[in-house]
Structure 1
Amino acid sequence: MFTFQDLRMLLSFAGAVVIIVCAFALLRIRRTPGRIHAGVIPGAVLFGTGWAISGGCPAIPIVQVAGGYLPALVTIVGVTVGIRLCRWANARYFHLDRGSCGL
């Protein structure tokens, strides 16, 4: 997807966007753009960077380990370390409200 050599995933995402736009139009749901939470942009950048480095979404390594592909444990460790680093950095430096996701 990231090299645009295979467009299946990109078209899947585009199809999902089209479907939700149609559903919102049919249900007459209107959302006014509000203030973006301060953690959305850096969180999205970090998530996307991790996704690009590991080559897949965070759920894939769990399936790979279940299938016997043990090198995927490195990705799981990376996800765990990243979550802990994010929590530590937020508590120490950023103090962003995590809302309902603040487990």
Structure 2
Amino acid sequence: MPCIRPQKTFVDWCVEQQVSHVVIGDVEGVQRHTSAKKKNKKRRSRNTNQKLSQWQFGKLYDYLAYKLKAKEIILEKVDESYTSQTCPVCTRRKKVSGRVYRCRCGYKCC
């Protein structure tokens, strides 16, 4: 059975679709707060804490950056704060109510 490499598949898809710019979320800091329960904080299981502590944050980014650069595709890391509330057309922020996002500028996404 051949080894499946999702990163290569993604890069190949980007080339096929003529993508010139890829944006990924910056997940740095997710492993923080994996210690014991603090006052009024939700406690994670030991198993979840261990997985978060051992997560190799930069490995995927470095691999994608290398492969995408070879294909002349730009890779950008952005802060994920408020991304689900921000309109991609006019950049206004609106809290989503329901499954469909509607903005005053006319943008609609399901």
The structure richer in helix per residue is 1
- Structure showing greater relative contact order (alpha-carbon pairs closer than 8 Å, 6 or more residues apart): 2
TM-score normalized by structure 2?
A: 0.30
The structure having more radius of gyration, on CA atoms, is 2
The structure richer in strand per residue is 2
TM-score normalized by structure 1?
A: 0.31
